[in-house]
Amino acid sequence: MIDAFCEDPLEPPSPEPDPASAESRIIARVLASTLHATPSAHVGPGDDAAVLASGEVLTTDLLVEGVHFDARSDGEDVGFKAVAVSVSDLAAMGAAPHWMLLCLALPADDAFASALARGVGQACERWGVELVGGDTTGTPGPRFIGVTMGGRCPGAPLLRSTGRPGDRILVTGVPGLAARGYTDAHAPAPALLALRRPSPSPALGIALARVASAGMDLSDGLAADLPRLCAASRVGARIDPAALPDHPALHGGPVPARTLQLAGGDDYALLITVPPELESAALEIAAAHGEALTSIGHLTPGRAVQAIDGPWPAAPWSHHAGAP
Amino acid sequence: MIDAFCEDPLEPPSPEPDPASAESRIIARVLASTLHATPSAHVGPGDDAAVLASGEVLTTDLLVEGVHFDARSDGEDVGFKAVAVSVSDLAAMGAAPHWMLLCLALPADDAFASALARGVGQACERWGVELVGGDTTGTPGPRFIGVTMGGRCPGAPLLRSTGRPGDRILVTGVPGLAARGYTDAHAPAPALLALRRPSPSPALGIALARVASAGMDLSDGLAADLPRLCAASRVGARIDPAALPDHPALHGGPVPARTLQLAGGDDYALLITVPPELESAALEIAAAHGEALTSIGHLTPGRAVQAIDGPWPAAPWSHHAGAP
């Protein structure tokens, strides 16, 4: 994601139980105050990816052991997910991924490096991404994985900032499924799979970009991400939590299904807004791709982001939360 | 640099007193054996940068605290150098830098982050590079800085692999000056400046690319880097160490000047080869840019890399060695 350097001051503050997120915000603020704006980039910091004047769409993501994954994580899953997270950023822009660069800082540990490489290779093959280079080093500390990915939008890039009051709000997939896996190592297979092997679809993102007014990927959960889209578009939102897609695997764990659906992250699904007259076209596009797309509310004038049945939920999720 | 995934098996093994470098090689080998080749990139792993079919030239570099810089390092210098190192990679390809993405993993420490951002900003301004996005996170471990930079070659990219026997070998700047600063915190100002504020010149790289047959940047020192160029070009080399440029600041430190000149790294100067009939043109280009360019030997048939006055020196330098 490209959100390091412009925290929207209107974004509602969310509780941050993860101290890393608070630090990240401090760093971002310092950088934003020091570094220059980006006149030649069409879309700069603050969206899922940057779009250069040349049409190249760029995203960069880092995963740090102890923050985004931990000792329980399988190296192959971590490698796969490191790629998938960036694919998701590009899909959310309506872009197809083409190439990536990989930076690794790893202690001497062939088993993990080898598994990581397998996972990266699987994901590159899955999405047709070419690994064109990288840099590696040893480290005395936690493992560090940095992915930079580039691609192209066949049409206009899908931005966060172009939603309008009245537009319908829709989500792909089953928000909360990955969080079910994260909060319960014995969760059903679909939940663990959603957590460990995110499945963003650039083809769906590209097709939906033709009818959507705005969009982003659902990486930190609806509770955190919908207010970001609204802040960028300078609108409010009103959603019906009961409309969120249900799934048997969401139930039976330590966290209520509704909480997972609203506040769980790591799904790498799409959150889009669509003018009402194009909603049926969007639903047909998703059906043609064999993907779930669910209408959950609409954008409103003003700036309030609300659920119809209660207060807006807290957003406790930390981006890229680790896998058991 | 883009050298993570293809260690040339013919590259002579060099002693690696820095365990991080040995680990890095292990990781690189694991990745190389797992990941696919890169059919659509013109120049893939193994050169200073990758060149995409679209003409985009890409490089990525990471700096880890405790490996590439340490507690003695000034944050502003580290930020400046993180950018300069990637500018040097592009300059060595004959490319002009255009944009960069910045990944940071930092503990909560406003003073360092703030200084780092200033240094990054100074370097971006110096070389006209636009920071188009990035990602930040906290970390429980050492600081981590990842830079991905892109640019364009006005002409053909300058590769490591296209040197021919008989070509002259030339270096820009004063190799060893940065190592003098690294090995002696009380070194003269020019040495400390060379270490802390590397000064690669894309304009010179672009101009020299018109006459050079091959080139790379001198980041790990001549002792390590010339064998890499020779391995890529499948040639040998014969150099006269006495021909290396001298400088008053090279002398008087704990390490002999000759050792610094041959085996010291972190200079981010250019190492190029030029057909004999174009040597005078190359020297005129450098003079027009106000930069030193010195002829130190020639490429040979066969594969031996030799000094005329003794055995080829050990290459103890660790890439991006830190600054006092």
Percent of chain B residues topping a pLDDT of 90: 63
In angstroms, the CA A166 to CA A298 distance is 6
| Residues 133-172 of chain A whose Cβ lies under 8 A from any Cβ of chain B | 133-142, 144, 146, 148, 150
Given this model, what pLDDT does residue A8 score? 32
B67 interfaces chain A, CB cutoff of 8 Å: yes
- Determine the distance in angstroms separating the CA of A310 from the nearest CA of chain B, rounded to an integer: 32
The more confidently predicted of residues A99 and A45 is A99
Q: What is the mean pLDDT of chain B?
A: 85
Closest chain A CA to residue B152: A54
Given this model, what pLDDT does residue A226 score? 96
Is the confidence at residue A37, as pLDDT, over 90? no
Closest chain B CA to residue A70: B140
CB A194 within 8 A of CB A178: yes
B60 interfaces chain A, CB cutoff of 8 Å: yes
Looking at the DSSP bridge assignments, the partners of residue A236 are A300
CB A205 within 8 A of CB A212: no
ipTM of the complex: 0.81
B5 interfaces chain A, CB cutoff of 8 Å: yes
- A1–B135 C-beta distance less than 8 A: yes
- B41–A130 C-beta distance less than 8 A: yes
Q: How confident is the model at residue B317 (pLDDT cuts 50, 70, 90)?
A: low
- What secondary structure, in 3-state letters, does chain B show? CCCCCCCCCCCCCCCCCCHHHHHHHHHHHHHHHHCCCCCCCCECECECCEECCCCEEEEEEEEEECCCECCCCCHHHHHHHHHHHHHHHHHHCCCEEEEEEEEEECCCCHHHHHHHHHHHHHHHHHHCCEEEEEEEECCCCCCEEEEEEEEECCCCCCCCCCCCCCCEEEEECCCCHHHHHHCCCCCCHHHHHHHHCCCCCHHHHHHHHCCCCEEEEECCCHHHHHHHHHHHHCCEEEECHHHCCCCHHHCCCCCCHHHHHHHCCCCCEEEEEECHHHHHHHHHHHHHCCCCEEEEEEEECCCCEEECCECCCCCCCCCCCCCC
Percent of chain A residues topping a pLDDT of 90: 62
Question: What φ, ψ does residue B219 adopt, rounded to 5°?
Answer: -105, -30
Pairing, β A130-137 against β A96-105? parallel
Question: Which of A114-118, B15-19, B144-148, B212-216 is predicted most confidently?
Answer: B212-216
Given this model, what pLDDT does residue B294 score? 98
Given this model, what pLDDT does residue A15 score? 36
| Residues 7-26 of chain B whose Cβ lies under 8 A from any Cβ of chain A | 19-24, 26
Nearest to B108 among A23, A41, A54 (CB): A23
Cβ pairs bridging A and B (under 8 Å): 296
A39 interfaces chain B, CB cutoff of 8 Å: yes
Q: How confident is the model at residue B296 (pLDDT cuts 50, 70, 90)?
A: very high
Question: Which of A249-258, B19-28, B46-55 is predicted most confidently?
Answer: A249-258
Q: Using one digit for the tens of pLDDT, what is the confidence trace for A261-317?
A: 999 999 999 999 999 999 999 999 999 999 999 999 999 999 999 999 888 887 665
pTM of the prediction?
A: 0.85
Is the confidence at residue B318, as pLDDT, over 80? no
- B142–A140 C-beta distance less than 8 A: yes
Given this model, what pLDDT does residue B46 score? 65
- Determine the distance in angstroms separating the CA of A279 from the nearest CA of chain B, rounded to an integer: 32
Is the confidence at residue B221, as pLDDT, over 70? yes
In angstroms, the CA A142 to CA A310 distance is 41
Closest chain B CA to residue A28: B136
CB B35 within 8 A of CB A121: yes
Question: Which of A26-35, A165-174, B59-68 is predicted most confidently?
Answer: A165-174
